Every structure is written in structure tokens, then in C-alpha cells.
């Protein structure tokens, strides 16, 4: 099932975010992965999912494994 990250994109574009295991809840953000991870760990999230939100959405249509 696809996850809708539209709200995350609009609020955090260009930043690193630390997500809970549900892959939807942002626990911290920062300009670097280390900053986002440090803030998440300070809040008690020992192993969050780190993700850099792109600055723009570029659609891709194609076939892999050519």
C-alpha cells in the first residue's frame, strides 16, 4: 500500500526527517541527517527511519531491468 507523504513534502521539503516505524509520523527534522537523528534520540526514539524530503517532485514513468 502506498503512503501519502504530501503533507510531509509540503512542510519539510529539502530537510531530513526522522519518522516513527509507521512511516507517517515525523518525530524530528533538520538540515542534516545527524541533526534529525540527534533530535529524535533526545526525544527517546532510538532507531527512527531517516528520509531526506526532496525539494521537488519529479515524476518517473518507465520500465526497470532493461
Q: How is the chain classified by DSSP, letter by letter? A: -----HHHHHHHTTSEEEE-TTSS-EEEEESSHHHHHHHHHHTT-SSPEEEEPPSS----------
Could you read off the pLDDT of 18-65 as tens digits, one per residue?
A: 999 999 999 999 999 999 999 999 999 999 999 999 999 888 787 766
Q: How much is the pLDDT for 43?
A: 97
Number of domains in the chain: 1
The domain of 41 spans: 6-52
**For residue 58, is it within any domain?**
no
Cα distances (angstroms) measured from residue 57 to each of 1, 9, 21, 66: 20, 9, 24, 24
Amino acid at each position: 500500500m502506498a503512503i501519502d507523504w504530501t503533507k510531509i513534502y509540503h512542510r519539510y521539503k529539502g530537510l531530513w526527517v526522522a519518522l516513527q516505524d509507521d512511516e507517517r509520523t515525523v518525530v524530528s527534522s533538520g538540515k542534516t541527517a545527524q541533526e534529525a537523528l540527534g533530535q529524535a534520540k533526545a526525544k527517546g526514539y532510538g532507531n527512527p527511519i531517516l528520509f531526506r524530503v526532496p525539494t521537488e517532485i519529479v515524476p518517473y514513468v518507465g520500465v526497470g531491468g532493461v
